[in-house]
Structure 1
Amino acid sequence: MKLPGALGHLTYCTNVHPGETWPAVDAVLRSDVLAVRDAMDAGGPFAIGLRLSARALADAARPEALAAMKAHLAAERLYVFTLNAFPYGPFHGTPVKADVYLPDWRAEERLAYTNAAADYLAALLPPGMEGSVSTAPGAFRANVGSSQTLEAIADAMLRHAAHLVAIERRTGAVIALAIEPEPACLLETTAEAVAFFEAHLFSPAAVARLAALTGLSPGDAEAALRRHLGLCFDLCHAAVEFEDAGEAVALLRSAGVKVAKMQVSSGLRLPEVGRDAATLLGPFDDEVYLHQVVERTGDGLLNRYDDLRDAFAALATAGPDAGREWRVHYHVPLFLEALGAFASTQPFVREALELHRRQPISQHLEVETYTWGVLPDAWRAASLPEAIARELTWVRDQWH
């Protein structure tokens, strides 16, 4: 939906709904999405943050399916301005864990999938509106073994930028790749992402590479890189990393890195970690998703664990530390600040949204609470459409 003034557009990501094939996604668009819209009473066209697996995308892009999608959007006053092309394969009901990053940006399959996602979005974008496609942060950090791997990842992203230039030339649609930093990944923090942009995506060598791929002048190539390559600023991820919202936004602005999308999401927080942490957090340790943990010790040091069970194992052998705090990559409903023995990172979300009110951070805001299907029952009292509508309303109400 369109937000007041210059605040941009707000949607939610359909990765919260199971659906790995186009018929399954299409069914969601004709049922749950409309239920969310109706519960919201948005007062105007309702936006969809669409997630399509590679399998679903191949079918969705067929002419007859694309025509049916356009007709459905028009009939129901829906529009699409952003795609989630992060999970390539299955995302619900089966163990995903670190495989969610595969194929990563070392593989041609990732580039082809992301190119296809941009093509599909270009066909759906409302006239005059920019689009964004969120993607994995290069690779899972454990899979990046050398500087050559890093250079190959960057070059694949530059080749995607060339594809986005071609889309703009052909259709007039401006689409930006939204690279999403995430704990335990090649790009984990905002600072790491900015360093990667400066060294590999905005460097003189990157400008020359894009100029060679597109025939643009060096000046136009640099402008194209900054227009088509940007960041997905996920508020859960940044909070889990103990970042300061104001400092992160200021760093991105000073580096000229476009925030192509801001994912409005909240993580899990255990302010005081005792010996009972594993018992308390056990219900959140599911077999489907990776739940990275960042621990801040009493003396301010940060320790990182790839999953909850790794943090549990470390805690079992750790000595006493009265000041230990855990933040967990587990997206919890935005409207919950207290969850029994836990807290959420909602205060970080509030701070970021206040910064956005003062000076817009991005024109694309997307609620993303994909972990609904594994959330402990105590926190799933409402139906899924009701919960999503409540999240969207909570965000909208931050500026009232």
Structure 2
Amino acid sequence: MKVNTGHLTYCTNIHPGKNWDDDFKALQENFPVIKQSVSPNGPLGLGLRLSNISSLELIKEDALAEFKQWLKENAAYVFTMNGFPYGEFHRTVVKEDVHTPDWTTDARREYTIRLFNILQSLLPEGMNGGISTSPLSYRHWFKTADDFAQAKRTATLNVIAVIKELIRISEQTGKIMHLDLEPEPDGILETGREFIDWFENDLLPLGIPAIESSFNVAGIEAESLIKKHLCLCYDVCHFAIGYEAHDEVLKELEAKGIKVGKIQISAALKANLDKSEADREIIKNSFQTFNEPTYLHQVVALKKDGGLIRYSDLTPALEDFENQEATQWRAHFHVPISIKEIGLLQSTQDDITTVLELQKNAPFTDHLEVETYTWEVLPEQLKLPIAQSISNELNWVIKTNV
């Protein structure tokens, strides 16, 4: 739906499904309920998530035609997609395999191009479209500095191949679409700093000559095309986990002409650890209730000296809970954004409020997507029916007057 600063939607990765038939049935069941609650008198957007299997099924002409007709009949539209998880995303162990196949592979490149071909068919006239994707790969798969550097280079070249395809589509159709890289803990790119450094030190040096050669343009135009078609996905949860200063990151992006493709509106778990021994035990046990086996739940601890301790998941973090250097924990678990207090734990809802206020004062993207995908693995006291949960999330954002 159109709000003051852009188009607001939710990511359909909250719906479990193994194929397009499952995905479509979930939309048919839940979307009308959500729309009636959130946008009864106007169109409502969808942040479409498709697995590789679903994308192969939806790209067929008959399936696309049926879906487009359903969108029309239900006053729905697709302007953004989530191309991060390639395979199954629910009811199986995902963990670090959420990055599989990574950007070092042909499979990731071809899957992403297929998603863009679907998006260009669905994208309303006059709107730009974006697809969020993984931060190149999972850093712990690469054991040496040389392996890490080679993976980053190979991944960057595959990203450039997608940028070339987006330029061709734009020249042929006039539709502007962008790939939105999403930094997250333990990705090759896990912070705003690392994304900006990669953009300037890896993407542009490799990409500018490639675009110059392929499209017969000067270097300044090649750089402009890269910045049009490769953006940052600003997942608020991920930036909050790293204790990043949102205003500083966004100011540097603007100064360097690097665009934000979309804001993913999401909240992490956090807790201050400067508590009594009894309260610390409650905090530890509370985090334990979120230690489920499906997804990675990386933890970043803030130290007394301002430094950070990074843990690859909740299990190793809990094993080090008595570390007296840590004053606060933030954990990668997408909790409902409309909830701030969870016993002695809190959400990073304040970070969302900060980012949305920055967006309201000086809009830096027109794509806003709520991404709370953990409904099935939340502790029971936080669970609601899926349609009600999504509606609550969207209505909470609307009330912030974005």
TM-score by length of 2: 0.95
How big is each residue's C-alpha offset from its partner over 1:54-102, in whole Å with a ceiling of 9 and x where there is no partner?
A: 0000000000000001101111110000010100000000000000001
Matches within 5 A, 1:335-374: 335-374=338-377
Q: What do the CA deviations read for 1:322-368 (whole angstroms, capped 9, x no partner)?
A: x6100001011111010112001001110111111100021100000
Secondary structure of 1:31's aligned partner: helix
Q: Which residue of 2 aligns with 1:244?
A: 245
Q: Distance in 2 between matches of 1:377 and 1:253?
A: 42
Shift of 1:219: 3.0
Which of 280, 285, 288 aligns to 1:279? It is 285
Residue 19 of structure 1 deviates from its aligned partner by: 1.1
Q: Give the equivalent residue in structure 2 for 1:295.
A: 301
Report the counterpart of residue 192 of structure 2 in structure 1.
Answer: 190
Pairing partner for 1:324 from 322, 327, 343: 327
**Residue matched to 1:2:** 2
Q: Provide the secondary structure at the position in 1 that maps to 2:250.
A: helix
- Check the 8 A contact 1:79/1:125 in 2, yes or no: yes
Contact 1:267 1:329 in 2 (8 A): yes
Contact preservation (8 Å) 1:133, 1:177: yes
Quote the Cα distance in structure 1 between the aligned partners of 2:385 and 2:208. 49
Q: Mapping of 1:43-58 within 5 angstroms?
A: 43-58=41-56
- Counting only pairs closer than 5 Å after superposition, residues 95-134 of structure 1 correspond to structure 2 as 95-134=93-132
Contact 1:88–1:102 under 8 Å retained in 2: yes
Of all paired residues, the percent bearing the same amino acid is 36
Matching residue's letter, 2:219: P
Q: CA RMSD in A?
A: 1.4
Determine if contact 2:234/2:263 at 8 Å carries over to the other structure. yes
Give 1:315 shift. 2.4
CA contact (8 A) 1:264 1:349 kept: yes
Which range moves more in the overlay, 274-283 or 44-53?
Answer: 274-283
Structure 1 residues 21-40: aligned runs within 5 Å: 21-40=19-38
- Of 87, 90, 93, the residue aligned with 1:92 is 90
Deviation digits for residues 94-138 of structure 1, max 9, x if unmatched? 000000001000011000000000110000000010000000000
Q: What's the counterpart of residue 177 of structure 1?
A: 179
Whole-angstrom distance in 2 between the partners of 1:42 and 1:101: 37
Q: Cα offset for 1:29?
A: 1.8
Which residue is 1:376 aligned to? 379
Kept in 2: contact 1:159–1:213 (CA 8 A): no
Q: Report the equivalent of 1:201.
A: 203
TM-superposed deviation, 1:190: 0.5
Q: Which moved more, 1:164-173 or 1:130-139?
A: 164-173
Q: Distance in 2 between matches of 1:217 and 1:28?
A: 47
Distance 2:366 2:6 in 1: 4
2:316 to 265, 286, 310: 310
Does the aligned pair in 1 maintain the 2:283–2:345 contact within 8 Å? no
Offset from partner CA, 1:187-228 (integer Å, 9 cap, x none): 11101100000112223x421112223333433322110000
Query: Deviation digits for residues 2-33 of structure 1, max 9, x if unmatched?
Result: 112xx010000000110120000111121112
Conserved 8 A contact 1:277-1:312: no
The SS at the match of 1:37 is: helix
Residues 347 and 118 (structure 1), Cα distance of their counterparts in 2 relative to 1, 3 Å cut: same
SS at match of 2:374: helix
Assess, with a 3 A threshold, how the Cα gap between structure 1 residues 120 and 94 changes in structure 2: closer, same or farther: same
Query: Which moved further from structure 2: 247-256 or 144-153?
Result: 144-153
